[in-house]
Amino acid sequence: MSETMKALYKEAAKCAEEIKKYKSVHVVSHIDADGLTSAGIICTALERGNFEYTTRFVKQLDEKALDTIADENHDIVIFTDLGSGMCEQIESRGIHAVISDHHQPQGSYQFHLNPHLFGANGSYELSGSGSTYLLASALGKNQDLSSLAIVGAVGDMQHLKMGQLVGINREILEEGVKEGTLQFKKDLTLFGKQTRPIYKLIQYSSDPYLPGLTGNEEACIEFLHTLNIRFNQNERWRRWIDLEDPEKQKVVSGLIQYCLKSGIPSYKIERLVGEVYVLLREKEGTEMRDASEFSTLLNATARYDHAEIGLAVCMGDREKGYEDARKLLAEHRQNLVNGLMYVKEKGVVQLENIQYFDAGSEIKETIVGIIAGMSSTLVKNRNLPIIAFAKAEGGIKVSARGTQDLIRRGVNLSEAMSMISAEVGGAGGGHDIAAGATIPNGKKEEFARKLDLFIGEQMQRKAHSK
């Protein structure tokens, strides 16, 4: 075990001791896959420890949310996948809390489990769910929950930075492998290996973008025909998991050949194959078997105000909860398709260093970021970050998505969104590759103009530092 992991476990033990002083606990978490898995981990641990608990899911932990929580006078509150940015505001309201998070800390707090405080990077070495897994392990025998920790890390895309999970995430992964709950292996990275027909995996590939195949169903089916891949089995479309190993080989090398012929640079082609994470105790052919599909299933619940369904699935509900989640997933997919069609029809406004679209109230603000990410397959110029605007309560929601290439060239969307939103009277943050903000109504044009200049400056800074 690394020294960092030991130090984190020590802090987790201190937090666990504090929690054990109370009988009832209020859990506050974030409405995305990492937030749901974090809540699933801590609630399972609390249930096993015979605690009483209540839960609350928020889009963001702002002052208003904290006021409400303070008014409720809980004995103790556990904040998961959020809270680190609000240490002082938690303290000043007299909320007695344990914070288990991985976002950049602002201020300090007595019971605070966060990788940044122990020399690890919270954007790719430990997720909120990972942090909460350490807390749960300190509360009792909960090692089986490592699989949820990995789903949360993958949901936050922490494996993309190095092409695999590293740091404390990796140590948790290894605990899961030992425990028999997790497996990692090199495989095709395209989305949907457990549940989708093979051609769909190719059709929806956005990273890498496959010119001529991405977005073109017929071309994808034809591509598989030329490789002699049989489509049907017992009247069903075959999925990736239905293929024999030599067939998988054939598809992977076919795709690589195709990319080479299309002139795609090798570092992009390499992204077709990467480390993937399998949940061994889940049934094959279900979303929960694959960390990436599991995280999307969870997003389909919490981002539509149904966090309770995602939480139920995290806590082992494979009947009603799972059934409800799959219905929401079908709607989520439809919304994603509609959103993409909207972007395709309306097009994007291209400035010098960014491109943007304004979805108004046509796309829900909680998924406009996902659509911004997926719309990279539609736009002419994939070398510019995509910025999306959508109507939100009391302002405009902004989502920004970049690529590994852009980061290499100096773009940091987290910095840009945080700085520029503050300049127009809003607030934002996130990760270098994916960030968000809320800005006041009427500030869209000014924000876009300023962001365009700022991102230009980021790239120049990098170019000069070389």
- Region of 81-89, 140-148, 274-282, 346-354 interacting with Zn ion (CB under 5 A): 81-89
Alpha carbon separation from 140 to 47, 134, 135, 144, 366 (Å, rounded): 11, 10, 9, 11, 35
Minimum CB–partner distance for residue 333 and Zn ion (Å)? 23
Contact of residue 428 among ligand C5P, Zn ion, none (CB under 5-8 Å per partner type): ligand C5P
- Region of 1-9, 45-53, 169-177, 421-429 interacting with ligand C5P (CB under 6 A): 421-429
3-state SS assignment for residue 381: coil
Quote the Cα angle for 217-220-224, to 5°.
140
Output 51 or 209, the one with its CB closest to ligand C5P. 209
Minimum CB–partner distance for residue 305 and ligand C5P (Å)? 15
User: Interface with Zn ion includes 287 (CB under 5 A)?
Assistant: no
Contact of residue 138 among ligand C5P, Zn ion, none (CB under 5-8 Å per partner type): none
Strands (E), 13-154: 24-30, 52-58, 77-80, 97-100, 112-113
Output 42 or 348, the one with its CB closest to Zn ion. 42
Output 156 or 452, the one with its CB closest to Zn ion. 156
Q: Which position has the token pair 């990736």?
A: 240
- Phi, psi of 203, deg, nearest 5: -55, -35
> From CA 406, how far away is CA 426, in angstroms rounded?
24
Output 138 or 166, the one with its CB closest to ligand C5P. 166
**Considering only residues 275-304, where is the footprint of ligand C5P by CB under 6 A?**
296, 299
Alpha carbon separation from 143 to 90, 118, 136, 389 (Å, rounded): 30, 22, 8, 41
Q: Which position has the token pair 């898995």?
A: 37
- Region of 151-159, 301-309, 420-428, 456-464 interacting with Zn ion (CB under 5 A): 151-159
Alpha helices in 32-82 (DSSP H): 33-48, 63-71
Contact of residue 128 among Zn ion, ligand C5P, none (CB under 5-8 Å per partner type): Zn ion
Q: Which of 16, 153, 157, 272 is close enough to bind ligand C5P by CB under 6 A?
A: 157
User: Interface with Zn ion includes 101 (CB under 5 A)?
Assistant: no
Alpha carbon separation from 291 to 163, 182, 243, 261 (Å, rounded): 15, 10, 20, 32
User: Interface with ligand C5P includes 37 (CB under 6 A)?
Assistant: no
Minimum CB–partner distance for residue 405 and ligand C5P (Å)? 12
Alpha carbon separation from 128 to 38, 100, 111, 404 (Å, rounded): 6, 7, 15, 23
Contact of residue 191 among ligand C5P, Zn ion, none (CB under 5-8 Å per partner type): ligand C5P
Closest by CA to 123, choosing from 318, 448, 414, is 414
Amino acid at 75: D
Q: Which of 138, 336, 343, 396 is close enough to bind ligand C5P by CB under 6 A?
A: 336
Minimum CB–partner distance for residue 429 and ligand C5P (Å)? 3
Output 32 or 187, the one with its CB closest to Zn ion. 32
Closest by CA to 130, choosing from 180, 78, 158, 172, is 172
Interface with Zn ion (CB under 5 A): 34, 81, 128, 156
Interface with ligand C5P (CB under 6 A): 32, 34, 60, 156-157, 160, 191, 204, 206, 296, 299, 332-333, 336, 369-370, 373-374, 399, 401, 427-431, 433-438
